[in-house]
A = this chain, B = another copy of it.
Amino acid sequence: MPKPLEFWFEFASTYSYPAAMRIEEACADAGVPLIWRSFLLGPIFGAQGMTTSPFNMFPVKGAYMWRDMERICEESDIGFVKPSSFPRGSILAARIAARHGASDWIGPFVRAVYTANFSDNRDIGDDAVIGAILEEIGLEPAAILAETLSPEGKAVLRKNTDEAQVRGLFGAPTLMVGDELFWGHDRLEQAIDWALRD
């Protein structure tokens, strides 16, 4: 019986992008139940004394990451354009994904937001862009936004981020199978294999 795999992602995170684009199909192919967990990296980086992305703090490493992203996206056959702003905050998208993580449209929504940021260079920090994305995937924004922005709705992202910190997450994407933690897009296949172990 495959164990569920939790996919912890943050919309500003570069390596979360190819993972987000591939994970639903990869889990379905393997018969592994997928749990979407939206969280924020900012508070986690902050607790380690960082005020921005490590890729901005260490520019040589950042330059490599952008080249690596080009190669990965080419290999995975997904579009890639370096965003004109990085990292793009997108608390509204993160809140929607946290609050509606178990909805039947979570996969399409997550992929649409990542594609907007990393392939179409749209400003996912702009609430109007997020509203437009909801419409583009055939949803009616009003009810979704109302549920997301209620006190209970907002609390889900905060709870997820607190849980991420308690469970030892330090970056994104992170794949969890029970307490076993796998960090990075590179570990997607390994995490799925782990979920299939007896």
Residues of A within 8 A of B (CB): 48, 58, 60-61, 63-64, 67-68, 71, 168, 170-171, 181, 183, 186, 190
The complex is assembled from copies of this chain, and their number is 2
CA distance A61 to B181 in the complex (A): 11
* Cβ–Cβ contact B64 & A181, under 8 A: yes
CA distance A89 to B61 in the complex (A): 23
Closest 3 CB pairs of A and B: A60-B170, A186-B186, A61-B170
Q: Which of B63, B71, B168 is close to A64, meaning CB atoms less than 8 Å apart?
A: B168
In the complex, chain B residues whose CB is within 8 Å of the CB of A181: 64, 67
* Cβ–Cβ contact A168 & B48, under 8 A: no
CA distance A114 to B61 in the complex (A): 25
In the complex, chain B residues whose CB is within 8 Å of the CB of A64: 168, 170, 181, 183
* Cβ–Cβ contact B48 & A170, under 8 A: no
14 pairs from A and B in contact (CB 8 Å cutoff): A48-B58, A48-B60, A58-B170, A60-B168, A60-B170, A61-B170, A61-B171, A63-B168, A64-B168, A64-B170, A64-B181, A64-B183, A67-B181, A68-B183
Q: Nearest Cβ distance between residue A91 and chain B, in whole angstroms?
A: 23
In the complex, chain B residues whose CB is within 8 Å of the CB of A171: 61
Q: Nearest Cβ distance between residue A141 and chain B, in whole angstroms?
A: 37
Q: Nearest Cβ distance between residue A64 and chain B, in whole angstroms?
A: 6
CA distance A71 to B186 in the complex (A): 14
